[in-house]
Amino acid sequence: MNADITVDAKFKSCPGPLIALAEAVGKAQPGQVVKLLATDPAAPSDVKEWAAGVGHKLLATEKSGNVYEIYIGVVG
């Protein structure tokens, strides 16, 4: 999946990845896709809950080695 913006939060513990993602999503335009790279095992679940709460769209969660690639569709 292609992303407009990539946030690299590998090796950051909670709440680092989510804070970095929220900041990037806040600056993105509606319709853009933001990709989060994270190694924190809690990241997929945290991002899922956060996106559901704030109204952005969780498009996909993939895993490559020990790195999660989590795609968020920015909703205006």
Point out the residues that are catalytic.
14
Based on DSSP, count helices (H) and strands (E) in the chain, helices before strands.
2, 4
Is 41 a binding residue for another protein by CB under 8 A? The answer is no
Is 15 a binding residue for another protein by CB under 8 A? The answer is yes
How many Å apart are CA 54 and CA 8, to the nearest integer? 21
User: Which residue among 4, 6, 8, 19 contacts another protein (CB under 8 A)?
Assistant: 19
**Distances 3 to 33, 43, 72 between C-alpha atoms, Å:** 5, 18, 9
- The CB-of-74 to another protein minimum distance in angstroms stands at 15
Q: Which residue ranges make up the site for another protein (CB under 8 A)?
A: 11-16, 18-19, 22-23, 46, 49-50, 53-54
